[in-house]
């Protein structure tokens, strides 16, 4: 059972401005009555290396590190794109897929996207399936945590379209839609996205309500609850 969080400060464990805005929007729309601040409010907070082997492991690493550094509840996620034709890659490497090919962080989204398109350029339309995957974690100063998951299925376009998203949004077309997530409004994207699903579940669990697709309590670490939608190898701050 989670404590009453009304009015509590909760730290979003990311410095990605796009993600901060998205998480604020999703958590606010879910009715979580807390003071949300970015980790930028804590200049001494560490940069946390994503050394885990799954989205969930990386989300927990970040959330626990920031909770320990700030003494506050910390929320983090790890998310990425899993491409069928690449056996689930880029996965947890999505945000750094272009590696040393692009040393400039400001240009990395574009470099990642262009590299991925080149790698699947000869893949026919019927085999361009992909999904965005997210694991969201909340860590408490006492070391306990909560983990939830979200996933949205779709396919890859051949050229970028739209400017409303980030990461791989301009080439990802969700199933049953004819636009990329970068062509959708923020509200449209939040309603169907992997991150929207995972963080709405997390908000409900933090508010003491069962997540809509919650599994039996299953430890993701020594003292944790997990609400699962799907779990896959995984990456940070993309799409």
Helix (H) or strand (E) holding 198: helix 194-206
- Alpha carbon distance 55, 220 (integer Å): 12
- Alpha carbon distance 144, 140 (integer Å): 5
4, 33, 77, 78: the catalytic one is 78
- Alpha carbon distance 93, 222 (integer Å): 26
Can you say how many angstroms the Cα of residue 134 is from the centroid of all Cα atoms in its chain?
4
Dihedral of the CA atoms 161, 111, 25, 80 (nearest 10)? 100
* Residue of 113, 89, 102 lying closest to 169 (CA atoms): 113
CA triplet 96, 196, 84: central angle to 5 degrees? 50
Distances (CA, A) of 97 to 120, 122, 165, 211, 237: 14, 19, 18, 32, 12
Whether 78 sits among the annotated catalytic residues: the reply is: yes
Catalytic residues: 78
């Amino acid at each position: 059972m989670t404590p009453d969080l009304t009015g509590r400060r909760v730290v979003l464990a990311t410095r990605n401005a796009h993600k901060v805005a998205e998480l604020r929007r999703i958590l606010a729309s879910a009715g979580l009555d807390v003071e949300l601040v970015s980790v930028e409010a804590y200049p001494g907070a560490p940069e946390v290396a994503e050394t885990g082997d799954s989205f969930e492991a990386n989300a927990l690493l970040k959330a626990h590190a920031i909770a320990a550094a700030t003494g506050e509840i910390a929320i983090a996620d790890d998310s990425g794109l899993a491409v069928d034709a690449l056996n689930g890659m880029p996965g947890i490497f999505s945000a750094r897929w272009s590696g040393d090919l692009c040393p400039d962080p400001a240009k990395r989204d574009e470099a990642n996207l262009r590299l991925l398109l080149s790698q699947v350029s000869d893949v026919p339309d019927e085999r361009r399936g992909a999904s965005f995957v997210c694991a969201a974690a909340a860590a408490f100063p006492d070391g306990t945590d909560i983990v939830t998951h979200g996933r949205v299925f779709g396919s890859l376009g051949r050229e970028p379209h739209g400017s409303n998203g980030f990461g791989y949004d301009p080439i990802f077309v969700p199933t049953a839609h004819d636009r990329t997530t970068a062509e959708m409004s923020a509200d449209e994207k939040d309603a169907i996205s992997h991150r929207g699903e995972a963080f709405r579940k997390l908000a409900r669990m933090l508010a003491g309500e069962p997540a809509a697709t919650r599994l039996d309590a299953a430890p993701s670490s020594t003292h944790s609850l997990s609400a699962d939608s799907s779990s896959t190898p995984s990456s940070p701050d993309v799409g």
